[in-house]
Amino acid sequence: MLLVKKINVSGGIVINLNLKKLLVVNQAGTSWSLAKGHVDKDETLEETAIREIYEESGITKLRLHEKLGEYQRYALDIYGNEDQSEFKTIHIYIFSTRQNEISPEDSLNPSAKWITLEQLENILTHKSDRYFIQSKRETILSFLTEDHKE
């Protein structure tokens, strides 16, 4: 019998208001994802999202807009297959920034970049991540096309 570890993960879609692009991060050099990670003890979901975005991109100037939603999926193994020993509930928030420079702090997540929404929908490694983004496309587009005040 396989023991399944259930975990909460929190992160965000970061919209660069200057470039009108979104943040994507490289995880462990093997997959592309939204900036997100495990919720630490005594940490709120929002605090986790902010910390993970900083660790995986170096972005410090963030504005939290709203919770975009949540979804569930299995983790990925090093080969890109579902690891059915770890089941994640992923909480995603929308953030904006005018900070263009990206400099990841986490050595396990060695690179990050700004890309278009269309590129994001195609580059995300896990199909559940792509489905979630596609299901929230209109909301994300509204943030990309409106001038949100900092």
Give dist(CA 130, CA 35) in Å, integer: 14
Q: What Rg value do the Cα atoms of the chain yield, rounded?
A: 15
Give dist(CA 34, CA 12) in Å, integer: 6
Number of domains in the chain: 1
Whether 17 maps to a domain, the answer reads: yes
Helix (H) or strand (E) holding 38, with range, is strand 35-38
- What CATH number did the domain enclosing 18 receive? 3.90.79.10
* Rounded average pLDDT over 117-137: 95
Give dist(CA 23, CA 26) in Å, integer: 10
**Which tens digit of pLDDT belongs to each residue from 70-116?**
999 998 877 778 888 899 999 999 999 999 999 999 887 789 999 99
By residue count, the chain amounts to 150
Whether 11 maps to a domain, the answer reads: yes
Residue 77 DSSP one-character state: -
| Beta-strand pair 63-76/5-16 | unpaired
Whether 38 maps to a domain, the answer reads: yes
Adjacent-strand bridge partners of 96: 15, 63
Whether 63 maps to a domain, the answer reads: yes
pTM of the model: 0.91
Whether 83 maps to a domain, the answer reads: yes
Whether 150 maps to a domain, the answer reads: no
Whether 12 maps to a domain, the answer reads: yes
**Which tens digit of pLDDT belongs to each residue from 6-65?**
999 999 999 999 999 999 999 777 789 999 999 999 999 999 999 999 999 999 999 999
Give dist(CA 49, CA 45) in Å, integer: 6
Q: What is the pLDDT of residue 84?
A: 87
Query: In terms of residue numbers, what domain contains 93?
Result: 5-145
- Ordered DSSP codes for 68-94: EEEEEEEEE-TTSSEEEEEEEEEEEEE
Whether 22 maps to a domain, the answer reads: yes
Q: Measure the N-to-C terminal CA separation of the chain; round to a whole number of Å.
A: 51
34 by Cβ neighbours in 10 Å (0-12 / 13-18 / 19+) ranks as buried
